[in-house]
Amino acid sequence: MGRLTGKVALITGAARGMGESHARCFIAEGAKVVLTDVSEQVGQALADELGGNALFLKHDVTCARSWTEVVAKAESVHGYINVLVNNAGILGPVANTLALSEADYLKVCNVNQHSVFLGMQAVLPSMLKAGIGSIVNISSIAGMAANYGFPNLAYVASKFAVRGMTKATAVEYGNRNIRVNSVHPGFIQTPMMVEATNESGGDALSLIPLGRIADPKEVSNLVLFLASDEASYITGSEYLVDAGMLAQ
């Protein structure tokens, strides 16, 4: 029996990067997984590779109607959703505050922050019917401290917001057996990370006490734990996976 046997998990932004890693990990631990992403071909190919317990659905996390459709389809195929990983996100431009356009600011907040509100609102009814739920919201070290390695006010704003929304929902739904926690990765080897280090030109390694960038699996290990019943007394909390960066 896997650590997620009996779980039906919805993971956003699951076509690549950390979302892909979480999906692989969840399937290996016995969950039925709904992988969603705007990137249709890559997401579908991954779900095909993962087998019958994986379902890919095209999904824009900024669109309320898209959430309604995804939840309805997920329930009809796999049953009530009892795990939600709000993982989809974008970095946005690496820019000083004076150079950041309002359009870019709003876009980053829309994808990283507003989507978490839409996602929790769309999936909570399913969890309430299931009688149990675990929501894992992916924030960042940028949800704890500003501009690690490069300036990015919009990203920082959105990731701080995710941390607060996590606590608000955890307090509100604790008595309904729904847990909500946030995960705050440091520098993780994904396409987004490559983009960030290229744009900033920064030397990421010099900021990391463990002296290396993480494999996405090292974040999946924590997300798996929080999704599972092993974390049954844990809610409203925030977890760094940052190799000691914020200990400095």
Ligand X SMILES: NC(=O)c1ccc[n+]([C@@H]2O[C@H](COP(=O)([O-])OP(=O)(O)OC[C@H]3O[C@@H](n4cnc5c(N)ncnc54)[C@H](O)[C@@H]3O)[C@@H](O)[C@H]2O)c1
Nearest-angstrom CA–CA distance, 60 and 212: 32
- Residue tagged active-site, from 155, 173, 233, 239: 155
Nearest-angstrom CA–CA distance, 238 and 197: 25
Please select the residue that binds ligand X; options are 18, 84, 109, 122, rule is CB under 6 A: 18
Nearer to ligand X, 50 or 130 (CB): 50
Please select the residue that binds ligand X; options are 28, 60, 73, 218, rule is CB under 6 A: 60
The neighbouring-strand residues paired with 138 are: 183
Query: In the range 124-153, which residues lie near ligand X by CB under 6 A?
Result: 138, 140
92 touches ligand X (CB under 6 A): no
87 touches ligand X (CB under 6 A): yes
Q: Which two tokens stand for residue 142?
A: 């940028």
DSSP one-letter string for 88-108:
-------B-GGG--HHHHHHH
Phi first, then psi, for residue 187 (nearest 5°) are: -100, 115
DSSP one-letter string for 144-197:
TSS-SSS-BHHHHHHHHHHHHHHHHHHHHHGGGTEEEEEEEE-SB-SHHHHHHH
Q: Which two tokens stand for residue 226?
A: 């929080």
CB of 224 to ligand X, least distance (A): 15
In contact, 220 and 22? CB cutoff 8 Å: yes
| Known catalytic residue at 173 | no
Nearest-angstrom CA–CA distance, 91 and 187: 13
Residue span binding ligand X (CB under 6 A) among the ranges 32-40, 77-85, 120-128, 220-228: 32-40
CB of 196 to ligand X, least distance (A): 7
Nearer to ligand X, 175 or 206 (CB): 206
Nearer to ligand X, 123 or 188 (CB): 188
Query: In the range 166-225, which residues lie near ligand X by CB under 6 A?
Result: 185, 187-188, 190-193
- The contact set with ligand X (CB under 6 A) reads 12-13, 15-19, 37-39, 59-62, 87-90, 111, 138, 140, 185, 187-188, 190-193
What residues act catalytically? 155
